[in-house]
Structure 1
Amino acid sequence: MVWARSVSARGVSVQGEGAYPVCRALPEEVPVAMVFGGATLAVMMASPGDIEDFAIGFALSEGVISGLDQIEEFEVAEQAQGIEARFWLRADRSAALAARRRFMAGPVGCGLCGIDSLEQAGRELPDVSGVALRLTRADVMGAADALRAQQPLHDQTRATHAAGFLRPGAGIVLAREDVGRHNALDKLIGAMVRQGDDPGTGALVVTSRLSVELVQKCAMAGSAVIIAVSAPTAHALRLAEGAGITLAAFARGGGFDVYSHPHRIRFEVSDVA
């Protein structure tokens, strides 16, 4: 079975001037099981596209693997009930896999579901303070619009998130979409690693608010800048500050806010008080 990314649905649109029939494109959403060595680690609801990117990005951002060389075999199996992303890892990854399996028992839909203690919610993140990336004000100001231009599924359905990789001076050079904001970022991270892009050489851009899980994934990927069109949570900001991540938010309408490690963004003298 091959899952389509969207389906057509007929309905009735009720407006002030009356009611009329409509046919809308709706994004598909299917269970995607992350299976390691024949045992399921997690199940997420996701858009049925770019599954290999999604699975590898998930494995990296959750700390199951730290590089592609630790994957011995991989396959995607589409079934009537959903999709399985099947991994077989090197033997030396068994400890990391066992640790994540203890903390993610049962189906999950985000980076914190399935953990069994408050301490696990605040897992230690890599410190990316040493990443020497620099962006211009124009890079950040144009990020959201550049990403918006690379969202064909959103254009069709108006119901998906996106994550993009912003390279200084080049704009958004890679993007991925999904019904879930965490999934979109995992897909982007997986795609970058598969094609050899270093996340530390650019910024991650997301079409959502900035929550704890997105900052965690940014740090795990080794990226030092994350840009969002909406607001960060207070906890996400604390994590970004501690991990050395430059956090820019409200990046829309020709402006943005910077809340942590602003030294990576070059401002004109007149821009700062």
Structure 2
Amino acid sequence: MVAMSAEQETPISPRAGFAGCAIVRHRGASSTPAIDSVAEEIPVALVFNGISHVVMMATPRDLEAFAVGFALTEGVVASAADIFDCEVSLGDNSAEVAMTIAQQDFMRLKQRRRALSGRTGCGVCGIESLELLDLQPEPLPPARLQIDLPAALARAAAGLRSHQALMEQTGGVHAAAWCAPDGTIVHAFEDVGRHNGLDKLIGHLALHNVDMRGGFVFLSSRGSYELARKAARMQIPLLATISAPSTLAIRIAGQAGMKLVGFCRHDTFVDYTPEIMLPTI
């Protein structure tokens, strides 16, 4: 796959990600007909070398980034260079993303015998046995991210809303943002599924050759285990969320040596991995 340079613009999504629905708004004794913007959710089939691997429920925008990010964070491919082609076919009520990947990755994929059926907010639907759960993250290299943690988190929390256009329109999607060490939001992606939003973000970073050890991810959701596992696989040194993490997310972050913080709002946050130190500015 030909990666995009950091200077190239992000491709414009062919779909807005929301649709107008007729509603009746009730307030007190009054009722008013209106049109409401509702986040789109459609089945998206991810096909590797001609074989359908998974169907995820997702918002139909930024689907190339989503597919690349999924392939990376789920360990389908070892690197973005192993994806030779990616073609999005978008229909009215469904979509398919066909990827051509390296033969060694495809053979490994077939051996895993996974047949997922994605749901909004679910990362393990369809896994055939507990043994197939990958809960042992590789240790991250020593962190080089120099950061003033309170200031960076406060800046990211304050800036996220301005990057949530789809949330502003619909009120029903999650956001995943890539932040510079000072907390400035550089990129943000939205989706009805929190893990889909992170996959889109990571796919975009991979396509643009961004060093994922040089910044951090800020999420508008809770910190569930699959988000921590995906971030750890990509060697992201810090994962921050607006809401709470799960015990499994904390365990995975600790095993990987990745810092995990939650309840990041204004000037407050909770550090769930205090033993993991990041270099300070």
Q: Same fold (TM over 0.5)?
A: yes
Give the share of equivalent positions with the same residue, in percent.
36
Relative to structure 2, which stretch is displaced further, 68-77 or 179-188?
68-77
Does 1:220 pair with 2:230?
no
SS of 2:277 mapped into structure 1: helix
Contact 2:43–2:95, Cα closer than 8 Å, also in 1? yes
Relative to structure 2, which stretch is displaced further, 203-212 or 7-16?
7-16
Contact 2:153–2:183, Cα closer than 8 Å, also in 1? no
Residue equivalent to 2:278:
264
Within the candidate set 6, 9, 21, 2:33 is matched to 21
Gaps of 5+ in 2: 1-13
Paired with 2:108 and 2:161, the residues of 1 have a C-alpha distance of: 36
Residue equivalent to 1:180:
193
Does 1:157 pair with 2:170?
yes
- 1:169 shift after superposition: 2.4
For normalisation by structure 2, the TM-score amounts to: 0.89
Deviations 1:80-126 (A, max 9, x none): 441111011122222322144x1x31422333222222233243212
- 1:24 shift after superposition: 0.9
Does 1:148 pair with 2:158?
no
Paired with 1:112 and 1:224, the residues of 2 have a C-alpha distance of: 24
Within the candidate set 73, 87, 95, 1:83 is matched to 95
Residues paired across the two proteins, number: 264
- 1:25 shift after superposition: 0.7
Contact 2:136–2:252, Cα closer than 8 Å, also in 1? no
Contact 2:156–2:183, Cα closer than 8 Å, also in 1? no
Does 1:130 pair with 2:142?
yes
Contact 1:129–1:245, Cα closer than 8 Å, also in 2? no
Paired with 1:106 and 1:231, the residues of 2 have a C-alpha distance of: 26
Within the candidate set 101, 115, 118, 1:105 is matched to 115
CA 40–253 in structure 1, closer or farther in 2 if over 3 Å, else same: same
Does 1:32 pair with 2:44?
yes
CA 196–214 in structure 1, closer or farther in 2 if over 3 Å, else same: same
One-letter amino acid of the structure 2 residue matched with residue 263 of structure 1? M
Residue equivalent to 2:215:
202
RMSD: 1.8
Does 1:49 pair with 2:61?
yes
- 1:252 shift after superposition: 0.8
CA 76–205 in structure 1, closer or farther in 2 if over 3 Å, else same: same
Does 1:235 pair with 2:243?
no
One-letter amino acid of the structure 2 residue matched with residue 75 of structure 1? E
For normalisation by structure 1, the TM-score amounts to: 0.91
Gaps of 5+ in 1: 268-273
CA 43–162 in structure 1, closer or farther in 2 if over 3 Å, else same: same
Contact 2:155–2:182, Cα closer than 8 Å, also in 1? no
CA 228–170 in structure 1, closer or farther in 2 if over 3 Å, else same: closer
Deviations 1:210-268 (A, max 9, x none): 0110000101111010000000111111111111010010001321111114522749x
SS of 1:86 mapped into structure 2: strand
Relative to structure 2, which stretch is displaced further, 110-119 or 241-250?
110-119
- 1:140 shift after superposition: 1.2
Deviations 1:183-231 (A, max 9, x none): 0000000000101111111111110000110000101111010000000
- 1:52 shift after superposition: 0.4
- 1:35 shift after superposition: 0.2
Contact 1:129–1:243, Cα closer than 8 Å, also in 2? no
Residue equivalent to 2:205:
192
One-letter amino acid of the structure 2 residue matched with residue 107 of structure 1? S
SS of 2:213 mapped into structure 1: helix
One-letter amino acid of the structure 2 residue matched with residue 188 of structure 1? L
Query: Which structure shows the bigger proportion of residues in helix conformation?
Result: 1
Contact 2:19–2:40, Cα closer than 8 Å, also in 1? yes
Residue equivalent to 1:11:
23
CA 265–254 in structure 1, closer or farther in 2 if over 3 Å, else same: farther
Paired with 1:3 and 1:171, the residues of 2 have a C-alpha distance of: 27
- 1:22 shift after superposition: 2.2
Paired with 2:280 and 2:216, the residues of 1 have a C-alpha distance of: 14
